[in-house]
């Protein structure tokens, strides 16, 4: 469908969505987890290669205990509810982040699902859970140094020690909820990502809006630090001219 293969989403606005309806914040997360299921199905239908969802950041521990434990429970519920669908759709499930501090039951469920889907060749579905971009980079550098004490670190070395090295760079980052920042999410992998911010709060986000965003962003020209295709064409047409100029400069004319 498009050049966009890896989409990462900051699913923001759950708390405000609930508060606007005079409900506690956790209602927003509960409603938001139903939207997660819809968007995973859509990503699968669109044949995206990777969908990375920011479900719990390392900073989210400072939220009220009830909210933190609701988010843990929702992850567990999602894995139980969606297990068959994930398996039958050949989806490869991974969690990126420090999962050691999660409840044992949740860790076991995550590991079970990762194990069952490790050979899947469809959509890579990644939940960033207890995840922080800076700590992922520091972790990677430390792991590298431990194994290679005398080697100078390169970009590909750092890539190799990320939580999910196989997912590569993000093509498109969507943030719902009206804020315009990246909040320590995939900061290494987003170096050349297209950004899209929508005012829609996550519980109101629909597959239709998701598809429209992908369509809109697919029309953007991505240059990765290069010049535009148009300019490149112009340049290659005047290659002879440019050779002449180089010759003249070298000859001191």
Site for ligand FPP, rule CB under 6 A: 11-16, 25, 29, 32-33, 36, 55, 60, 71, 74-75, 78, 177, 202
Of 42 and 60, CB closest to ligand FPP: 60
Decide if 12 is catalytic: yes
CB of 73 to ligand FPP, least distance (A): 9
Query: What is the number of other CB atoms lying within 10 angstroms of the CB of residue 175?
Result: 23
Of 185 and 202, CB closest to ligand FPP: 202
Residue nearest ligand FPP, Cβ-based: 15
Of 105 and 235, CB closest to ligand FPP: 105
Q: How far is CA 250 from CA 70, 157, 243, 247, in A?
A: 70, 40, 11, 5
Decide if 90 is catalytic: no
CB of 86 to ligand FPP, least distance (A): 12
CA angle 53, 18, 194 (to 5 degrees): 30
CB of 69 to ligand FPP, least distance (A): 12
C-alpha 105: how far from chain center: 25
**Residue 198 CB partners (closer than 8 Å, separation 6+):** 174, 175, 176, 178, 205, 209, 213
Can you name the residues that pair with 124 across neighbouring β-strands?
Answer: 50, 92
Q: Is the dihedral of CA 177, 179, 185, 188 positive or negative?
A: positive
Of 157 and 204, CB closest to ligand FPP: 204
CA distance 33 to 235: 50
Catalytic residue among 19, 20, 38, 60: 60
**E runs forming strands in 121-233:** 124-131, 172-175, 194-197
Of 14 and 117, CB closest to ligand FPP: 14
Q: How far is CA 223 from CA 37, 160, 192, 199, 226, in A?
A: 33, 25, 9, 27, 5
Catalytic residue among 12, 14, 124, 171: 12
**E runs forming strands in 99-203:** 124-131, 172-175, 194-197
Active site residues: 12, 60
């Amino acid at each position: 469908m498009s050049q966009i293969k890896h989409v990462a989403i900051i699913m923001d606005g759950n708390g405000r969505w609930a508060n606007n309806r005079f409900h506690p914040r956790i209602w927003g997360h509960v409603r938001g987890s139903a939207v997660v299921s819809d968007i995973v199905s859509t990503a699968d239908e669109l044949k995206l290669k990777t969908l990375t969802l920011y479900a719990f950041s390392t900073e989210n521990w400072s939220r009220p205990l009830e909210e933190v434990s609701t988010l843990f429970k929702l992850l567990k519920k999602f894995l139980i509810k969606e297990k068959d669908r994930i398996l039958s759709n050949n989806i490869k499930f991974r969690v990126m982040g420090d999962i050691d501090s999660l409840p044992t039951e949740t860790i076991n469920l995550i590991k079970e699902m990762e194990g069952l889907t490790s050979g899947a060749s469809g959509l890579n579905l990644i939940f960033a859970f207890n995840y922080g971009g800076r700590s992922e980079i520091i972790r990677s550098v430390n792991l590298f140094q431990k194994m290679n004490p005398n080697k100078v670190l390169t970009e590909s070395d750092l890539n190799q020690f990320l939580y999910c090295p196989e997912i590569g760079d993000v093509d498109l980052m969507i943030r719902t909820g009206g804020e315009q920042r990246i909040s320590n999410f995939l900061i290494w992998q987003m170096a050349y990502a297209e950004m899209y911010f929508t005012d829609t709060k996550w519980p109101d986000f629909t597959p239709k809006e998701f598809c429209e965003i992908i369509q809109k962003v697919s029309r953007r020209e991505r240059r990765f630090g290069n010049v535009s295709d148009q300019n490149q064409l112009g340049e290659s047409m005047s290659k002879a001219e440019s050779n002449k100029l180089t010759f003249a400069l070298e000859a001191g004319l």
